[in-house]
């Protein structure tokens, strides 16, 4: 496929995903069918068949798009001086997305929607939560190379950080996500998760500045 044509196809695909993601954010809490979401867009069944093949593949593509967006703060090269700042920006991006209705709706569709199989669950995890953890692991591995005091396997470290982050965010669920109070608590929970994470993996007292 010529480069220009390939770029055009990818642009159309991303445009479709962006439109559906926006619709996910305005969908009723009980919705568990991606077809109901599609009725709020200008995307046709022919578009889905042409670009994604089927609805389950569409849901997986949406998960990949959201995971890629959450990983954006980790894209630039990391140094010891920027490690915590970048991890904080990532944590806040994840927290914002976890609080937004579109990700909750997407998870509900995956869990309760029609056509669910072991293979579709595996694909969703690989391209969604798995991709997020893997991207964080790559960032932590790069930080290790740069001399940031991280001990242990980067994939395990990434899984531990995500677990710490989720615990803090789960504790914030009682507050309205649109409130200033929730945003303030979210930021505190992200910072707390980073403090706990850095404290747990620092090599010694000389690296203690990572936990402050």
How is 128-148 classified by DSSP, letter by letter? THHHHHHHHHHHHHHHHHTT-
Closest CA to 98 of 20, 182, 195: 182
Q: What angle do CA 182, 184, 190 make, to 5 degrees?
A: 100
Q: 39 in a domain, yes or no?
A: no
Q: 41 in a domain, yes or no?
A: no
Q: 117 in a domain, yes or no?
A: yes
Q: 17 in a domain, yes or no?
A: no
The CATH number of the domain holding residue 151 is: 1.10.357
pLDDT of residue 183: 72
Are the CB atoms for 91 and 190 separated by under 8 Å? yes
What is the average pLDDT across 4-23?
Answer: 84
Residues 163-187: pLDDT tens digits? 999 887 776 554 455 556 667 788 8
pLDDT of residue 206: 47
Domain hosting residue 205, numbered range = 56-211
The answer to whether residue 196 scores a pLDDT higher than 80 is yes
Residues 118-128: pLDDT tens digits? 998 999 999 99
pLDDT of residue 98: 86
pLDDT of residue 27: 81
Q: Burial, 172: exposed, middle or buried (Cβ in 10 Å; 0-12, 13-18, 19+)?
A: buried
pLDDT of residue 151: 80
Q: 96 in a domain, yes or no?
A: yes
Q: 14 in a domain, yes or no?
A: no
Q: 81 in a domain, yes or no?
A: yes
Look up the pTM and report it.
0.84
Residues 80-91: pLDDT tens digits? 889 999 999 999
pLDDT of residue 24: 92
Q: What does the DSSP 8-state code read for residue 27?
A: S
Q: How many domains does the chain have?
A: 1
Distance of alpha carbon 28 from alpha carbon 136, whole angstroms: 31
Q: 190 in a domain, yes or no?
A: yes
């Amino acid at each position: 496929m010529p480069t220009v044509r390939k770029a055009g196809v990818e642009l159309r695909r991303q445009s479709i995903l962006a439109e559906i993601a926006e619709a996910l954010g305005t969908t009723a809490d009980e919705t568990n069918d991606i077809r109901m979401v599609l009725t709020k867009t200008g995307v046709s069944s022919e578009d889905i068949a042409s670009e994604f093949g089927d609805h389950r593949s569409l849901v997986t593509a949406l998960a990949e798009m959201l995971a890629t967006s959450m990983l954006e703060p980790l894209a630039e090269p990391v140094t010891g001086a920027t490690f915590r700042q970048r991890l904080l920006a990532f944590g806040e991006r994840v927290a914002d997305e976890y609080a937004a209705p579109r990700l909750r709706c997407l998870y509900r569709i995956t869990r309760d929607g029609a056509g669910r199989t072991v293979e579709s669950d595996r694909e969703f995890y690989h391209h969604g939560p798995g991709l997020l953890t893997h991207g964080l692991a790559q960032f932590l591995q790069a930080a290790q190379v740069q001399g940031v005091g991280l001990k242990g396997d980067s994939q395990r470290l990434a899984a531990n950080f995500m677990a710490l982050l989720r615990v803090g965010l789960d504790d914030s669920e009682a507050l309205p996500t649109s409130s200033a109070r929730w945003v303030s608590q979210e930021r505190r929970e992200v910072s707390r998760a980073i403090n706990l994470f850095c404290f747990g993996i620092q090599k010694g007292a000389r690296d203690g500045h990572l936990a402050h």
